[in-house]
Structure 1
Amino acid sequence: MDTKKPPIPVSLLMLIGIVAISFSAIFIKWSSAPASIQGMYRLLFTSLLMFPFVRPYSGAASALHLKDRLLLTTSGIMLALHFLLWMGSLEFTSVASSTMIMALEPVFIMIGSYILYKERSAVSAISGLGVAIIGVVFIGWGDIGLSSDNLKGDLLSIFGTVAVAAHLLIGKKLVARMPSYLYSLIVFIIAGVVFALYNWAAGIAFFDYPPREWGIFALLSIVPTVFGHILFNWLLQYTSATTVSMNILGEPVGACILAYLLLGERLSGLQWSGGLLVLGGLASYLYMGSRKVAREAERRHRREQEPETLPESAS
């Protein structure tokens, strides 16, 4: 990994990114437009912002094989499905419940990585995810006491999290063969087209929205996407993926605080308990996962050093 320092301290950039993505649910709650319209314009505006900088990657785009194009299409469909389900969940449940459930993304990535890539996780890491799952059950149980709509929102958030996990697993395979910037742009465009087709088929209006809604669409594309997700991708050249992934824990915390201050949302004691279990379990998982990566890196380093020492021991 490149150890050069960014122009701004990593910790400050991470804080900016966490605050930015925490605003995503707030903007969605503020909008009265359908979730599919919000998702379409969020992706479209972000793609327009990224497009002027894609020229250096044009050669890589033309060199893509048919299999890669099909995987890109599938990844875009999964991203659109994630936005549709997760953004839709906020119509029925609280910001806190939805974002805490979405933080379970590593659970589904771990399962998918085992099925697709035969990657195994440490037992201690798995136990941390088990605690997080129990926390989600607590959140859902607390929502049942509020209304059936809240539980519906929780389920939509779960399915949306499964969709984004599939999107990331496909991306893990593709970014090994193509620039991550190009991958993100193409997937954003594909997902935007999927949303456009969905809205057209459902008879949802494309343009009949007041100026306030267009402002929210622009904020969704700039704040949580550019200053959130794209910023985190950029930070990978300066710090470890494990450090960047800690934003998974930061988003529900930031979103809960913002929802309390800006939306007046409050949680029951059971939901707070569930949220603490989710965050604690995920923190344990990420910590154990980072230790496993460090051990594997140390073993690889030792294996690389062995051939150099063999001739000396033989003499």
Structure 2
Amino acid sequence: MEKRLAQVGYGGKVEELPPFGGSGVLLVLDRDHRKSPLCLRESPLTAVAFRVLFAFAWALLLPLMVWRPRRLRVPVARLPGLALYGLVAVAANYVGYFYALKYLPVAAAVVLIYTNPALVVLLSWPVLGERPTARELLALLATFAGVFLVAQGYAPGELALGWKGVLFALVTATSIAAYNLAGKRYVRELDPWTVMFYGLLFGGTLLAGWWAAGERELAYPPGAWGLVALLGLFPTLLGYGLYLKGLRYLRAGHAAIAATAEPFLAALWAFILLGERLEPLQALGGALVLGAVLGLQLRSR
């Protein structure tokens, strides 16, 4: 039974990764503002806040919630923890992610952010009682090397660092680690979609308040709003929900390592949709990441 559950967990991860990778194409588009309808580097908070708010709106329409509203019932004692989860795992995650990209080259931001699996694997022992295995540690090394190659960290100037960007990237890495560790604890006793719903509720509330007090930028063309709505549905709502579902059956470290396939999938989307060249070293990096993920999956069978 445990082997079957692990396979189901990896199934959730496989379903979750393509939409996450697809959202990475926006970062490629944003390198040229003439191609990007969002201009994420100029007003990241607007894109982030409304992406989460649209995701929450979609969640309200989710059949699982409409037909089974009892899923939303949680013990009152759990609400403060879920609120903190939404603030750290949702709000801090997105804000840190887009501001890191504002102040750092994409490669530097991606390499720093994807140190988060190391945090998850190391902290899973004291927090969740999941002792790191030799296979996980080897997979960590392979995925970090793979992400470095996919992000083209070897290119001149791509790892130029500024303290603001480094700070936001590390905030993002820490928030993703918290998302994995706290999410794993919550899905042991709550439905994954319930955890996702409250994470979006509390995280979206903070982001909306921050946006209202600051940017208040709404000057996007209609097509951009449609894009934000789609981002709210696919990589945000379905991505979070399926990730949490996968966490119910996987070790937190395995889930975090599997998620490192996102940068490679983003590069593949850019190759397929935008015709961007995928360099041999990027392909090698993708093979390292996918090989590490498949190695963990085969071990779980």
TM-score, normalised via structure 1 length: 0.69
Aligned pair in 2 of structure 1 residues 258, 134: CA closer, same or farther (>3 Å)? Answer: closer
Measure, in 2, the Cα distance between the counterparts of 1:94 and 1:260: 20
Q: Which runs of 5+ in 1 are unaligned?
A: 5-9, 295-315
Measure, in 2, the Cα distance between the counterparts of 1:144 and 1:152: 21
Q: 1:74 and 2:96 equivalent? A: no
SS at match of 2:24: helix
Measure, in 2, the Cα distance between the counterparts of 1:264 and 1:290: 33
- The structure number with the bigger radius of gyration is 1
Counterpart residue number, 2:17: 18
Instruction: Give CA-to-partner distance per residue, 1:210-251, whole Å, 9 cap, x none.
Output: 3233122112112323454435556789xx647977752432
Measure, in 2, the Cα distance between the counterparts of 1:50 and 1:101: 31
Q: Is the 8 A contact 1:23 1:223 kept in 2?
A: no
SS at match of 1:142: coil
Q: 1:171 and 2:170 equivalent? A: no
1:1-315 equivalences under 5 Å are 17-27=16-26, 29=30, 30=36, 31-33=38-40, 34-52=43-61, 53=63, 54-55=65-66, 58-59=69-70, 61-66=72-77, 68-78=78-88, 79-93=90-104, 98-99=109-110, 102-133=113-144, 142=154, 145-146=157-158, 148=160, 156-201=168-213, 203-231=214-242, 241=250, 248-260=259-271, 272=281, 276=284, 280=288, 283-284=291-292, 287-288=295-296, 291=299
Aligned pair in 2 of structure 1 residues 100, 137: CA closer, same or farther (>3 Å)? Answer: closer
Output the aligned Cα RMSD: 4.1
Aligned pair in 2 of structure 1 residues 146, 18: CA closer, same or farther (>3 Å)? Answer: closer
Counterpart residue number, 2:33: none
Aligned pair in 2 of structure 1 residues 156, 144: CA closer, same or farther (>3 Å)? Answer: farther
Aligned residue type for 1:85: G
Q: Which runs of 5+ in 2 are unaligned?
A: 31-35
Aligned residue type for 2:121: M
Instruction: Name the % identity.
Output: 21
Name whichever of 114-123 and 37-46 sits farther off: 114-123
The number of residues matched between the two structures is 280
Instruction: Give CA-to-partner distance per residue, 1:32-66, whole Å, 9 cap, x none.
Output: 15222212111111111111342565446444132
Aligned residue type for 1:18: L
Aligned pair in 2 of structure 1 residues 153, 256: CA closer, same or farther (>3 Å)? Answer: farther
